[in-house]
Structures are given as structure tokens and as C-alpha cells.
Amino acid sequence: MNGLEARDIQMRFAGLVALDGVTLEAPRGRVTGLIGPNGAGKTTMFNVCGGFLRPTQGRVFIDSDDVTTSSPTDRARRGVGRTFQRLELFRSLTVRENIALAAEGQLISDGPLAQLGITRNSRAARVANREITEKLIDDVGLTGLADRRAGELSTGHGRLVELARTLANRPTVVLLDEPSSGLDPVESARFGAILRRLMDENDLALLLVEHDMNLVLSLCQWIYVIDFGRPIFEGTPDDIRRSPEVQAAYLGKAVA
């Protein structure tokens, strides 16, 4: 299968079982949702898929290759890009530098000379690089802020920088962890529009963890629901709306 696949994942932290038997598929060309109450294990699942955690059981595949034991950098090379629930910006770099750092990675082999700016890349490659950076800045609507330090931005803008940085790396599998948290409804709607356009223009596998149900139900074609680390439901947005289990898991939590 082209895209991301995680099979029967179990993740233990000392005594705590954060994930137990979670399987999911995020094929290319589809927006896949992963939802569940706070502490359900969504971020842990992302960390397992991105290589930041080694699962205690189960396997992870990218484009059908087993990558369970490979490092985050290695997976990034295979096309996995992600954002973080708690913003992880290069706060002391400008917005443009944040994005360019990721864009360059595509063209330069990171040998010693390349890091000092001495590369054999053609001028054309460098120009292309700069164009991609500028296009992404434009696409996510950060043109006016490109020379500000990322640490000075609002969360909403910070999320956009993270998204642009992730895309600058030209991933084929994109994991977004609560991209709309900290955004106001207008920003959130805008974010949704950006994602839709993104899906139209590229053959991406997008996996979305999100608390904003409107965004999830409108964007995703298939949704997985987990609770306390266990899968409790999967289906289309319509199935989710009708499912009593999902209602129970969410509303039980929301009331408590």
C-alpha cells in the first residue's frame, strides 16, 4: 500500500499501557482522521508512526516497507512529515529561515561543506529552493510576517509556519497533531481550506488528529476512534455521527 500503515501497535510506558492493539491505515490521496478523548493515545500513536517512540509491539510500514526500527530522520527521508501538538518552532529563526531550512534539506546532501553553504547544487536548484520557500509562505498566508522571528508569532501563525515547514520537506505522508488547537474559528476554517487545497494539488497521505469535530468531519474520508489506547470505532464521518460508542466515549469524557 502507498502511504502509512501501522499494524497492531502496543506502547507501554513502565506500567502504563498507552496504546493497545491499534491498527490504522492512511493511504495516499485520503484524509484520515484519528480522534479520541484527551489522553487516549493519539499523540503517542503519532510518535510511534514518526519514529520518535519504538512500539513495544506491532509494526509500522511506509509504502509497504517495514520502518518499525528506523529513526525519525530516516523516516523523514522516506517522506514522513509531521507537526507537533505543542508547537515546535525554531523560535530564534525567522519564518522564512524556518521554512528554508526544511526546503534546503531536499536539495543539499548534508555533508560538511554543504552546511557551510558550499554546495555543488546548481544555481537553478538553489533558485528552485527559494521559489518553493516563497510559494509556501504565500500559500499559508504568512507573506507579511516572513522576516519575523518565529518565537514572536501568535499560535495561529505558528501552526501555519509548522505546516509550511513540514510541506517544504516535500513529504508524502503528513501527520498533523491538533493543527487547530489555539486557533480562533476564522483561522481554523482557513486552515481547513489550506489542507483541502493541499490534498487537491498533491498525492498525499494525510493523517489528522483533531479535537475540532467540524473540521474532522468535513475533511476526513475515514476516521479512527480510540479511547484509553484501544480502538473503539472506525468508519466514515456519517458512521461516526451515528455511532453510539463514539458518543458515549466523548460525551462521558466531556461531562466528567
Residues near other proteins, by CB under 8 A = 13-16, 50, 52, 71-73, 76-77, 80-82, 84, 86-94, 97-98, 101-102, 104-105, 108, 110-112, 114-117, 151-155, 158, 162, 165-166, 168-169, 181-184, 211-214, 217, 241, 246-247, 250-251, 254-255
230, three cell numbers = 484501544
Smallest distance from ligand ATP to CB 123, Å: 44
Q: What residues line the site for Mg ion (CB under 5 A)?
A: 42-43, 85
Q: Which is nearer to ligand ATP, 2 or 85 (CB)?
A: 85
Partnered with residue 61 across adjacent β-strands are: 5, 66
67 neighbors 172 (Cβ within 8 angstroms): no
Rounded Cα distance between 14 and 222, Å, is 32
Smallest distance from ligand ATP to CB 182, Å: 13
Smallest distance from other proteins to CB 253, Å: 9
Rounded Cα distance between 229 and 37, Å, is 10
The one of Mg ion, other proteins, ligand ATP, none whose footprint includes residue 143, by CB under 5 to 8 A per kind, is none
What is the end-to-end Cα distance of the chain in Å, rounded? 40
For 96, residues 6+ apart whose C-beta sits below 8 A from its C-beta are 133, 137, 146, 147
Q: Which is nearer to ligand ATP, 11 or 132 (CB)?
A: 11
100: Cα within 13 Å, side-chain hemisphere? 16
- Which span sits near ligand ATP by CB under 6 A: 11-19, 58-66, 68-76, 243-251? 11-19
Q: Does 85 bind ligand ATP (CB under 6 A)?
A: yes
At 235 the three-state DSSP class reads strand
DSSP 90: -
Q: Which is nearer to ligand ATP, 15 or 112 (CB)?
A: 15
Within residues 135-194, the interface with ligand ATP by CB under 6 A covers: none
For 83, residues 6+ apart whose C-beta sits below 8 A from its C-beta are 159, 162, 163, 166, 175, 176, 177, 179
249-252: which pairs have CB atoms within 8 A and are 24 or more residues apart? 249/36, 249/37, 249/225, 250/37
Smallest distance from ligand ATP to CB 38, Å: 4
- 131: number of Cβ within 10 Å: 11
Within residues 16-55, the interface with ligand ATP by CB under 6 A covers: 16, 18, 36, 38-44
Smallest distance from ligand ATP to CB 64, Å: 26
Q: Which is nearer to other proteins, 23 or 73 (CB)?
A: 73
Smallest distance from ligand ATP to CB 231, Å: 13
Q: Which is nearer to ligand ATP, 118 or 256 (CB)?
A: 256
Residues that bind ligand ATP (CB under 6 A): 13, 16, 18, 36, 38-44, 85
